[in-house]
Amino acid sequence: MKDMRTVITGQLPASPPPPSGEFGEVRIPAPPTPLSRERLLEEVRGATAIVSTLNDRIDAEVADAAGSGLRVVANVAVGYDNIDVSALQDRGVIVTTTPGVLTDATADLTMGLLLSVTRRLGEGERLLRSRAPWTFELGFMLGTGLQGKTLGIVGLGQIGRAVAHRARAFGMNIVYTSRRRAPEQVEETCDAVHLSFEELLRTADVVSLHCPLIPQTRHLIDAQSLANMKPTAYLVNTTRGPVVDEAALAEALSAGQIAGAGLDVFEHEPEVEPRLLGCDNLVLSPHLGSATKETRNAMTQLAFDNVRAVLRGDDPLTALP
């Protein structure tokens, strides 16, 4: 192990134990993070293992900078749109992610955004903090109830299914669309009906995005998709920002083309489309989907476990195919 080197690209939660000697030399760059491209390339030189976050673009250039000894990249995320998987696998590098452990936290936040935008909680808090005068009236700040409404889930993977179960507890009906239709048992468990993407947009009272970011899903929600939604419908995005065309969404919200939206992720993080910030019918959170202490610790530990397995010569727990 003495010739091995593990580079951890970002600041990780403190709770998991630091990697032991079996990780070889452990390098954790000093702040500031995320690392600039130039600094990332410098830090990974000679790395046997890289523990990365979604802020890091890990591609052929990074693999070549690390050198021929690079064996594993453990991404502390369930998604891997920041990684050129083919380029790494072509060089014999194993790529792992952290699925499963963040499902509940992300599903919980999805429901939080859904409730916040439909019940106008963000607007209400801003009103109180502004110290504007108000009084209880029967017609004051009326929102929309969820009972009997239809939730359209785009991507019925682990997180999509967890959202479906939560939404059913609120009395919602579930429809979904996916690149591949879910097994019948999954549909029955979620009480979900499969629709085409276009039909889902026309049907759903809330559209919740849980698909991965791939070329086919970039700007999946564009001006045309928004025009196909009900004017009373809401959009929630807790997957990846570029799945939504933010400029088109800002236009739709400003024009009242849809009722509202809740966003946890953004097209050009950490920047947010300026026109969105002026939309009262929008709830925003700064990429908090997996941001619980328990979840982030579990994600970090799973990444460490994957590195440990590869460096021992064992099969990793959650490698990409």
Q: How many CB atoms lie within 10 A of CB 211?
A: 22
pLDDT computed for residue 271 by the predictor:
96
Mean pLDDT to the nearest integer, 166-173: 98
pLDDT computed for residue 191 by the predictor:
97
The answer to whether residue 1 scores a pLDDT higher than 80 is: no
Mean pLDDT to the nearest integer, 251-266: 98
Structure tokens, 143: 């929102």
The answer to whether residue 10 scores a pLDDT higher than 70 is: yes
pLDDT computed for residue 48 by the predictor:
97
Q: Give the residue numbers annotated as catalytic, written as ranges.
A: 240, 269, 287
The candidate with the shortest Cα–Cα distance to 92, out of 111, 112, 66, is 66
Mean pLDDT, the chain, rounded, equals 96
pLDDT-based confidence at 228, cuts 50/70/90?
A: very high
Residue by residue, DSSP assigns 58-91 as: BSHHHHHHH-TT--EEEESSS--TTB-HHHHHHT
pLDDT-based confidence at 22, cuts 50/70/90?
A: confident
The answer to whether residue 262 scores a pLDDT higher than 80 is: yes
pLDDT computed for residue 2 by the predictor:
65
The pLDDT > 90 percentage for the chain reads 93
pLDDT-based confidence at 12, cuts 50/70/90?
A: confident
Tally of residues, the chain: 321
Taking the mean position of all CA atoms in its chain, how far away is CA 116? 18
Kindly state the helix (H) or strand (E) to which residue 96 belongs, with its residue range: strand 94-96
- Beta carbons within 8 Å of 287's beta carbon, 6+ residues apart: 264, 265, 266, 269
Cα distances (Å, whole numbers) of residue 189 to 99, 103, 171: 20, 17, 15
The answer to whether residue 20 scores a pLDDT higher than 90 is: no
The pLDDT > 70 percentage for the chain reads 99
Residue 53's Cβ-side half-sphere holds a number of Cα atoms within 13 Å equal to: 16
Query: Which domains does the chain possess?
Result: 5-101+293-312 (3.40.50.720), 103-284 (3.40.50.720)
